[in-house]
Structure 1
Amino acid sequence: MIFNREMETLPREDMEALQLKRLQQSVRHVYENVPFYREKFAEKGLTPEDIQSLDDLKKLPFTVKKDLRNNYPFGLFAVDQSKVVRLHASSGTSGKPTVVGYTRNDIDNWAEIVARAIAAAGGKPGEVLHNAYGYGLFTGGLGLHYGSEKLGMATVPVSGGNTERQIMLIEDFKPTVICGTPSYILNIVETMEKMGKNPQESSLKYGIFGAEPWSMEMRHELENRLGIKAVDIYGLSEVIGPGVAIECAEAQDGLHIQEDHFLVEVIDPETLENVPDGVEGELVFTSLTKEAMPVIRYRTGDVASITHEPCVCGRTTVRMSRVKGRIDDMLIIRGINVFPSEIENVLLQIEELEPHYQLVLTRKGPLDDVQLNVEIDRDVFYALSGDLNHDKIKTIARDIKRQLKNQCFIAIEVNILAPGAIPRSEGKAVRIIDKRKAASV
Structure 2
Amino acid sequence: MIFNVEMETMPHDQMRELQLQRLKETLQHAYQQVLFYREAMDQAGIHPKDIMSVDDIAKLPFLQKKDLRDHYPFGLFAVERSKVARIHGSSGTKGKPTIVGYTKEDLDNWAEIVARAICCAGGKPGDLFHNAYGYGLFTGGLGLHNGVEHLGATVVPVSGGNTSRQITLIQDFAPRGIASTPSYLLNIIETMRKEGIDPSKTSLEYGVLGAEPWSEEMRQQIEEGLGIKAVDIYGLSEVMGPGVSIECAEAQDGLHIAEDHFIAEVVDRHTGKVLPYGEIGELVFTSLTKKAFPVIRYRTGDIASLHSETCCCGRTTLRMSRIKGRVDDMLIIRGVNVFPTEIESTLLQFTELSPHYQVEIMREGSLDRFEVHVEVTRSFMEQVPNWETSDTLALLKSAICLQMKENLGVSIHLQIHAADVLPRSEGKAIRVVDKRNSVQV
Partner of 1:331: 331
Partner of 1:235, secondary structure, is strand
Aligned residue identity for 1:373: H
Partner of 1:411: 411
Partner of 1:402, secondary structure, is helix
Distance 2:420 2:3 in 1: 41
Aligned residue identity for 1:353: L
Aligned residue identity for 1:82: S
Partner of 2:140, secondary structure, is helix
Partner of 1:136: 136
Partner of 1:436, secondary structure, is coil
What is the CA distance between 1:95 and its match in structure 2? 2.1
What is the CA distance between 1:410 and its match in structure 2? 1.2
Tell me the alpha carbon deviations over residues 242-292 of structure 1, each in whole angstroms, 9 at most, x when there is no partner. Answer: 000000000000000000000000000011101111110000000000000
Aligned residue identity for 1:247: E
What is the CA distance between 1:2 and its match in structure 2? 2.8
Partner of 1:428: 428
Partner of 2:122: 122
What is the CA distance between 1:392 and its match in structure 2? 1.3
Say if 2:307 is the partner of 1:307: yes
Partner of 2:100: 100
Partner of 2:42: 42
Aligned residue identity for 2:302: D
Distance 1:367 1:423 in 2: 27
Q: How does 1:11-410 map to 2 (within 5 A)?
A: 11-385=11-385, 387-410=387-410
Distance 1:234 1:407 in 2: 26
Tell me the alpha carbon deviations over residues 342-377 of structure 1, each in whole angstroms, 9 at most, x when there is no partner. Answer: 110111110111111000000111111100000011
Partner of 1:337, secondary structure, is strand
What is the CA distance between 1:387 and its match in structure 2? 3.7
Aligned residue identity for 1:321: S
Distance 1:2 1:32 in 2: 36
Distance 1:153 1:325 in 2: 32
What is the CA distance between 1:401 and its match in structure 2? 0.3
Partner of 1:388, secondary structure, is helix
Distance 2:430 2:66 in 1: 23
What is the CA distance between 1:437 and its match in structure 2? 2.1
Distance 1:260 1:90 in 2: 25
What is the CA distance between 1:385 and its match in structure 2? 4.1
Distance 1:214 1:49 in 2: 41
What is the CA distance between 1:425 and its match in structure 2? 0.6
What is the CA distance between 1:34 and its match in structure 2? 0.2
Distance 1:231 1:284 in 2: 22
Tell me the alpha carbon deviations over residues 297-322 of structure 1, each in whole angstroms, 9 at most, x when there is no partner. Answer: 00000000000001000000000000
Distance 1:389 1:328 in 2: 38
Partner of 1:323, secondary structure, is coil
Distance 1:131 1:56 in 2: 40
Distance 1:438 1:100 in 2: 28
TM-score in terms of structure 1 length = 0.98
Gaps of 5+ in 2: none
Distance 1:438 1:34 in 2: 36
Partner of 2:388, secondary structure, is coil
Aligned residue identity for 2:368: D
What is the CA distance between 1:379 and its match in structure 2? 0.9
Moved more, 386-395 or 143-152: 386-395
Distance 2:296 2:438 in 1: 38
Aligned residue identity for 2:364: K
Number of residue pairs matched by the alignment: 439
Partner of 2:4: 4
Aligned residue identity for 2:278: G
What is the CA distance between 1:438 and its match in structure 2? 5.8
Distance 1:206 1:327 in 2: 30
Tell me the alpha carbon deviations over residues 362-407 of structure 1, each in whole angstroms, 9 at most, x when there is no partner. Answer: 0111111100000011111122345422221111111100011111
Aligned residue identity for 1:4: N
Distance 2:93 2:223 in 1: 32
Q: Extract structure 1 runs of 4+ deviating beyond 3 A.
A: none
Tell me the alpha carbon deviations over residues 194-235 of structure 1, each in whole angstroms, 9 at most, x when there is no partner. Answer: 111111110000001000000000000000010000000000
Partner of 2:197, secondary structure, is coil
Partner of 1:61, secondary structure, is coil
Aligned residue identity for 1:272: G
Moved more, 44-53 or 76-85: 44-53
Partner of 2:57, secondary structure, is helix
Aligned residue identity for 2:284: V
Identity percentage over the alignment?
Answer: 62
Distance 2:211 2:386 in 1: 35
What is the CA distance between 1:18 and its match in structure 2? 0.2
What is the CA distance between 1:48 and its match in structure 2? 1.3
Distance 1:437 1:104 in 2: 42
Aligned residue identity for 1:239: V
What is the CA distance between 1:172 and its match in structure 2? 1.1
Partner of 1:208, secondary structure, is strand
TM-score in terms of structure 2 length = 0.98
Distance 1:53 1:306 in 2: 19
